[in-house]
C-alpha cells in the first residue's frame, strides 16, 4: 500500500469516520477535515487524528497540501464540492449518490475526464472476496449464461414515522431516498457480478410515512442487455432487517447467491446438489483471493471492503495499480440513470428505457 498520500475529508459523520479509518490503514496522511461548522471540525479533527480542522469544505478542497479529497457530506453538496476539488487538481472519492440526478452526475463525469484525475465512488460491496468469486465464475463461463437476476436490499432504520434524517428531505438528499441510497448499491453489485446492464425497467414505489418527501421502498422489474430478466425489492422499512443485501444469479449450469450479512460463504446451486464456497484464500480464484486478506475462519466484513476500496484508490492515484474494477464516476452516473428511470417509471406507471454508453461498462 502506498504511503504519503495526503488526504482530507469533508463530512465527519459515520461514513466520514469510516473513510478516515481506511485512509490511516492505507498509510495516508490525514491532513484535515471539515464538518458542518468550524467547532464540529475541531472536535472531529481531534477524534479522527487529523492534523487540522478546516473552517469549511470549500477551504478544504482548495488546500494546496491535499492530494485526495473525500466527500462525505449530504448529497446536495456532492456536485459543487467534487467539481471544485477536480478543478483544483485533486483526486476525489465521493459518496453516492454522486449527484441529486443524472444531469449532475454527467457533469461530474465530464469534469473528471477533463481533469485527468481519479474520481471514485464507494460501491464497496464489490470488495467482498465471495462476490468476486461469483463474478469470476460468471466471467469465465463456469455458470453458463445468466438468465435471472434477483434479490433485495432491506433495512429498518426508517421504520417509524418519527425516524428522521437529512436524507428524507428532498432538498438535501434528492428526489429519491431509499433507491438512491441503497438500491444503487444493489444494482451496481448485480451489474458488476453478472456483467449485464439493466436496459429497461418497471418500478413501483411506496412512501409509508406520509410526512416524508421521498420513497421508503421500491419494487423494480427489469431486463438486461444480455437477455436476462430480474427483480429487486429495496426497503428501509423492513422490521428486523439491518443491512440485508441479497443477490442471486441464476444461470444455465448453476445458481450463485451472495448475502452481505453472511459474506464468508457463497451459495452455489446445481440441479443435483448445493454447496458453499468458503472465503478461503487457498481455494478461491485469483481475482477473489486478492481481497481475502485473512485466513479462512477469521471473518472479513464491511470495514474490510472499505479498507480495500480506499487502498486501491490510493494505489491508482500513486500509479501503483491500473483502474481495473475500481468503481468510478461513470459507475456513479450509471446509478443515477437507473434511479431516474425508477422514479420516472413509478410516477408515469410505465416501462422506461435506461441509457447505456460505452464508457459505463465496468472492466
What pLDDT digit, counting tens, does each position of 167-206 carry? 989 999 999 999 999 999 999 999 999 999 999 999 999 9
Domain check: are 145 and 245 in the same one?
yes
* CATH number of the domain enclosing 56: 3.40.50.720
Q: What is the pLDDT of residues 97-120, one digit of tens each?
A: 999 999 999 999 999 999 999 999
Total of domains in the chain: 2
Do the Cβ atoms of 99 and 336 come closer than 8 Å?
Answer: yes
> Is residue 22 in a domain?
yes
User: In whole angstroms, what separates CA 343 from the centre of its chain?
Assistant: 19
Give the pLDDT score at 358.
55
pLDDT at 362 over 70: no
Whether residues 104 and 252 share a domain: the answer is no
Whether 131 and 110 share a structural domain: no
Residue 361's pLDDT is 47
Domain end (from 99, 120, 141) = 120
For residue 305, give Cα distances in angstroms to 2, 159, 300, 301, 311. Answer: 17, 27, 8, 7, 10
Beta bridge partners of 229: 148, 223
141 in the same domain as 115: no
Question: Is residue 97 reached through a cis peptide bond, with omega within 30 degrees of 0 on the bond before it?
Answer: yes
Segments forming the whole domain that contains residue 235: 125-305+322-353
Q: For position 142, what pLDDT does the model report? A: 97
One domain for residues 238 and 165: yes
pTM of the model: 0.95
Amino acid at each position: 500500500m502506498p504511503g504519503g498520500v495526503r488526504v482530507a475529508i469533508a463530512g465527519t459523520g459515520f461514513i466520514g469516520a469510516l473513510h478516515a479509518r481506511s485512509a490511516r490503514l492505507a498509510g495516508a496522511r490525514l491532513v484535515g477535515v471539515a464538518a458542518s461548522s468550524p467547532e464540529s471540525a475541531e472536535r472531529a479533527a481531534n477524534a479522527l487524528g487529523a492534523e487540522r480542522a478546516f473552517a469549511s469544505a470549500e477551504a478544504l478542497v482548495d488546500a494546496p497540501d491535499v492530494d485526495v479529497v473525500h466527500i462525505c457530506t449530504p448529497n446536495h453538496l456532492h456536485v459543487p464540492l467534487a467539481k471544485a476539488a477536480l478543478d483544483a487538481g485533486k483526486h476525489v472519492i465521493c459518496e453516492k449518490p454522486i449527484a441529486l440526478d443524472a444531469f449532475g452526475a454527467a457533469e461530474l463525469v465530464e469534469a473528471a475526464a477533463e481533469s485527468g484525475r481519479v474520481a471514485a465512488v464507494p460501491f464497496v460491496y464489490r470488495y467482498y472476496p465471495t462476490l468476486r468469486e461469483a463474478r469470476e465464475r460468471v466471467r469465465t463461463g463456469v455458470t453458463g449464461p445468466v438468465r435471472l437476476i434477483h434479490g433485495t436490499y432491506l433495512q429498518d432504520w426508517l421504520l417509524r414515522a418519527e425516524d428522521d434524517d437529512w436524507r428524507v428531505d428532498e432538498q438535501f438528499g434528492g428526489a429519491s431516498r431509499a433507491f438512491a441510497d441503497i438500491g444503487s448499491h444493489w444494482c451496481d453489485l448485480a451489474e458488476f457480478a453478472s456483467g449485464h446492464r439493466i436496459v429497461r425497467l418497471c418500478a413501483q414505489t411506496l412512501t409509508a410515512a406520509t410526512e416524508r418527501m421521498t420513497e421508503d421502498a421500491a419494487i423494480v422489474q427489469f431486463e438486461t442487455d444480455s437477455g436476462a430478466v430480474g427483480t429487486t425489492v429495496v426497503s428501509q422499512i423492513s422490521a428486523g432487517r439491518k443491512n440485508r443485501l441479497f443477490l442471486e444469479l441464476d444461470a444455465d449450469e448453476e445458481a450463485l447467491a451472495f448475502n452481505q450479512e453472511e459474506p464468508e460463504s457463497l451459495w452455489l446451486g446445481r440441479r443435483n446438489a448445493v454447496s458453499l464456497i468458503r472465503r478461503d484464500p487457498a481455494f478461491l480464484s485469483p481475482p477473489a483471493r486478492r481481497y481475502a486478506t485473512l485466513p479462512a475462519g477469521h471473518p472479513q466484513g464491511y470495514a474490510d471492503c472499505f479498507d480495500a476500496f480506499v487502498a486501491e484508490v490510493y494505489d491508482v492515484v500513486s500509479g501503483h495499480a491500473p483502474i481495473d474494477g475500481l468503481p468510478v464516476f461513470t459507475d456513479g452516473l450509471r446509478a443515477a440513470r437507473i434511479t431516474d428511470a425508477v422514479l420516472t417509471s413509478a410516477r408515469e406507471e410505465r416501462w422506461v428505457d435506461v441509457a447505456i454508453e460505452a464508457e459505463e461498462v465496468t472492466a
